[in-house]
Structure formats: C-alpha cells, structure tokens
Copies of this chain bind each other. A is one copy, B any other.
Amino acid sequence: MNSYKAPLRDIRFALFDVIGADRLYARLGIETASRDLVDAVLEEAARFTETVLAPLNAAGDEHGCGFDPASGEVRTPPGFRDAYAQYVEAGWAGLTAPEAMGGQALPESLGAAVKEMIDAACLSWGNYPLLSHGATELLKQYGEDWQKEAFLRPIVEGRWTGTMCLTEPHCGSDLGLLKTKAEPQADGSYTVTGTKIFITGGEHDLADNIVHLVLARLPDAPPGTKGISLFIVPKFKVGRDGRAGERNAVRCGSIEHKMGIHGSVTCVMNFDGAQGWLIGQPNKGLNAMFTMMNTARLAVGIQGLALADRAWQNALAYSRERLQGRAAGGPRYPDKPADPLIVHPDIRRMLLTCKALVEGGRMLALHAATQVDIAERSQDREERERAEALLGFLTPITKGMLTEWGNECAYHALQCFGGHGYIREWGMEQLARDARITTIYEGTTGIQALDLLGRKTLQQQAAGLQLFLGMVREFCKENSENAALAEFVLPLAEAARQWGELTMELGQKASASGEELGAAAVDYLFYSGYVALAYWWARAVAAAEAGDHPAGFKAAKRETARFYFGRLLPRTQAHAAAIRSGAGNLMDLEPGLFDS
C-alpha cells in the first residue's frame, strides 16, 4: 500500500538549478560527470530503486533477519540477496569509488542523490552498501597499498562489504572507555579480542566476505581516546596477497530485536583473538574512524531525508484521495460525498511542513555533498580547505536536522492518515519506526550539536559559520533590489544576523563555563538548521524564477517558501530564547532531586 516514486525533478532542480553542480563538476574536471551522464545515472537509479528495492521494504520489516545461534550466521529478508546481486552487477557499488580500484569516480554529490533514492525505497537494505561506502573512504585515505588492493578493491566491486565496530556494551558516545584489545604478532598482524555491539551488517548473506573496521587498544596504549587504534578484521582471513582464506575468529553472538529497520541486521560481534591489520597510525585510530564517521553522518542525514520524502509522498496521495469533511468555504467537490482531506488547512499545514523540510533538506544535503567533491578534487588548496571547513560545519547540521526532520515528517505524514496511519498495512508506521534510529546512530542529535557548536564553531573561530554566512550575505546582496525576493531576503538577513550574534554570545559564555556550551548546543543546532533552510528556500525561489520551469512549479516553490518563512522559521525564536536562558535552569537541580 506504501509506494515510492523517485523525485527526479526535484533532485535535478536542487542539483543543477539551485546548486549548480553541473558547472561545478566541469570546473573540477570530472569529465565523466557530464549533464547527460548524470541524468542517465539518476534515471537508472530511479528505475532500480522503484522497481527492485521499493517492493522489498514491507516484507523486510515483516520478516526481519534470521539468526542461527549454532553457526552464528544471519539470513537477510527475502529478496535482499537478489537485489544486492543486481546492485553489484550494475556497478552501483563503485559509483563514487576511485577508478584505480575499479570504481567510476563519479561525484559524491551524485552519490548522495542516488543514496536518497536507495534509502527511500528500502532503508534497511541501504544500510549494507552505506557501510561499504564509509569503509571505502577510510581505506582510500588511510590504507597501505597492499591493504587497498586486498580490501578496498573487493569492496568497490561489491563482492565484500564493510562495517564500523566502535560501540561496546559499556560505551557508546564515550569511546574513551573502550576495552577491546589488539596484540601485535610476529607476522605484522594483530590478534583482536573484545565484544562490539550495535554492529550494523556485522554478519549477513549478501557478500563473500565482511571487512570489519575495529577500534581497539594496543598493549601499551594510553587510557582514554588517545589510546585507540584502528584495525581491519575480515570475516575470512586475508593475507598480504589479498586472498581470502580460512574463517577468522570473529563471530556474531546474537542480533538485536529493534523498533524498526528490521531488515538491517544489528549484531553483537565477538572478536576472539581474530587476525587483524593495523590501519593508520597507532593510537590515532579515532582520527581515521572520523573519516568513516563523517561520511556515515552525511549518509544518515540523507536517510532522514529519504524517509521523510517517502512518508510525505504517501501522505500527499492519501490526502488527495481520502474524502472526509467539507472545505470551510463550502463544498469543493459537491458531487462527491465529501471533499478530499487536502482541502483542510491543518492537513495542508502538515503536508507543507513535510514539503518544506524535504525539499529544503535536499538542497542542504546535496550542497554539503558538493563540498566533499571540492575538498577531494579542487586543484586550489585554499578552496579545498574552505570546502573542508564548510563541510565540517554542515555535516552535524545535515545529520542532526535531517534526521530530526525525518522523524517530524514521518509523524505528520502518519497523522494525515488518521487511524489508518497506525495500522501496519499502510506502511506509514514502519516509516516512523525506521526513522526513529536515525537521530541515534552515528552520533545522537546531542552529539551532533556538541560537534557543531564546540568543535566546528567555537574551537575554530566559527570558520564554517563565517563561510556559510558569507554565502547568505552574498545572496542577500545580489538580491537586495529584487522586489520579487524581498519577502524572503529581509527575514533571511535578519535571521543570519541573529545567528552570528547568538554565536558571539555563546562564545563569551562558554569561555566562562563549560556547561554553557552543552546547555545551548541542541537549541543552537536547531536554530542553525532553520536559518540554513531559510537560505536554501530563498535560493530555491530565485532559481525557480530564473530557470525554464512551468508556472506551476515556480508557484509551488514560492508558496512553499512563504509557508516556510511564515510558519517554520519562527521556531528559531523559541530556540533563541532557550539558548539565551542560560545553563542555570538545566544545571541547578541536584540529580537526587529530579524525582522529588
């Protein structure tokens, strides 16, 4: 009952009309990424996701993954294996991977658009390639040559998949506590021993081998986060010759029963003296893992966007079909027993909230992904550094806000269905359950907020913020005489001004007390997200007006922007007030008195 149609028109609008990705690709010299080829990739991705993946979504939820305690093996839901084979056959696994490893070296921003379609079609399935993509980035950057040949090439070919093994039973966000140990061996390898939990794709039946990227401590490692190293631990042992041999001493001990993403297996992984290879420098494992985590964070942000899009597509279709009540101004369809839901203002409020957050979030995410392309490919070092700073700033906003908005949109979209939204057969409740993980894994919203306000802003003299504010100011200046945009440019300029002001205030407060940063962080993240979206919506109106689009399309962009500025942007004022209220109202109550 729950369907998916890839939003090709809006993806193209965001990528080309608003962001200008085609011009960027040309400037970066990505010759394969011609407009024609990019279009063809998008269309083929739409076909694959709509016809192969989307039909797996409900069954994947219903069946979940099977686990055999005797063998430690995992069986993915019906159809997952076949879809993965088609994915590999069509070359999707190597879409953005280096040509030297057999990849197609297409832009990451194109990969992000493809990823949105994959996740909207079947998020649970999408988690398997997601982690391969992260492992690719990590191996590309930190792997020795033999490691790239031995591990990266089969991942790029899709024959093997990757995992990230960070969390342990007693440590999630606080990785400094981790206990898994690695002992050096005479042949240059290490034996890895410990238990990792919440390992997505830790065991499955889609590929021939699984490459675990495992955080562990060397014998002489200092305590805390400065004593963590990173190891490659394959399911089947791999020597320097790249050949996979006998079974390694790593095994899935059990799988989790979760609220959602039932088709995406979540494993307890037991490493029992498993053979592993150090990747990167000793005790610098967290730095290397951050490469993978940043990639994964953008990807999880896109998951939030994807689920929001699927939820709202279905809510829109239902709201057009379901007849219930009459329009306030009198029957709109007097020949029918009632008017469709979409005549009601509050249904429109929910639908437009989704539309504004989905289409706005898409511009935010795709623009962030273009910064990966610039950071990796620009010939100009300063431009690369600017792109990295901007990407670092936009990653927690994209991850944090697109996943929070994903949950909000799933909520509104389910609500449009009334009681039917709560019934499994309509598929809306699955989207809400699936969305709920996205604000948790790869760093909770609270962790994203600390990253944004602490590491990416206050510790870096707000370099990323200044770059983004520079874009805002430039846009506002360019359009200062544009009467058609004045209704957006003026409030955007004001919101951006306040953004800078709040940041300054927080910088001063945080230097006086460390608690002020943590007390303001999540509200600052939300504030930032809403202002960033205001910028993208203003640009969307400008791009729609400037482009060769039907009048209806232009009207839809303008009306949605009006809705956004009128009804969602004011949320910034609640967040600004919360930020300015200070840490005292959070910190003064003794822990023992919370349940008084």
Per the bound structure, the CA–CA distance linking A352 and B591 in Å amounts to: 11
| Interface segment out of the listed A227-235, A289-297, A432-440 | A432-440
In the complex with contacts A256-B423, A342-B591, A429-B259, A517-B328 CB distance below 8 A: yes
> A-side binding surface: helix, strand, loop or mixed?
helix
Residue among B9, B258, B445, B570 making CB contact with A424, cutoff 8 Å: B258
Per the bound structure, the CA–CA distance linking A522 and B176 in Å amounts to: 45
Residue among B328, B337, B422, B552 making CB contact with A514, cutoff 8 Å: B328
Copies per complex of this chain: 2
Identify which of A177, A259, A588 gathers the most chain B CB atoms within 10 Å of its CB: A259
Find chain B residues with CB under 8 A from A23 CB: none
Is A113 close to B, CB under 8 A? no
Contact status B429-A592, CB under 8 Å: no
Contact status B177-A337, CB under 8 Å: yes
Contact status B589-A555, CB under 8 Å: yes
The residue on B at minimum CB distance from A594 is B316
Interface residue count on the A side (C-beta < 8 Å): 106
Residue among B197, B324, B450 making CB contact with A172, cutoff 8 Å: B324
Residue among B328, B421, B446 making CB contact with A346, cutoff 8 Å: B446
The residue on B at minimum CB distance from A544 is B596
In the complex with contacts A167-B419, A440-B422, A445-B415, A328-B173 CB distance below 8 A: no
Is A15 close to B, CB under 8 A? no
Contact status B355-A594, CB under 8 Å: yes
Find chain B residues with CB under 8 A from A481 CB: none
Per the bound structure, the CA–CA distance linking A407 and B422 in Å amounts to: 14
Contact status B552-A592, CB under 8 Å: yes
Is A185 close to B, CB under 8 A? no
Q: In the complex, how many angstroms separate the beta carbon of A442 from the nearest chain B beta carbon? A: 11
Q: In the complex, how many angstroms separate the beta carbon of A397 from the nearest chain B beta carbon? A: 16
The residue on B at minimum CB distance from A420 is B172
Is A171 close to B, CB under 8 A? yes
Is A284 close to B, CB under 8 A? no
Per the bound structure, the CA–CA distance linking A276 and B172 in Å amounts to: 60
Is A457 close to B, CB under 8 A? no
Contact status B352-A316, CB under 8 Å: no
Per the bound structure, the CA–CA distance linking A132 and B592 in Å amounts to: 40
Identify which of A197, A433, A556, A559 gathers the most chain B CB atoms within 10 Å of its CB: A559
Q: Known pairs A346-B450, A415-B446. 15 more at Cβ < 8 A? A: A256-B423, A257-B423, A258-B429, A259-B429, A316-B595, A328-B517, A349-B586, A552-B590, A555-B590, A557-B596, A566-B581, A567-B581, A573-B574, A573-B577, A574-B574
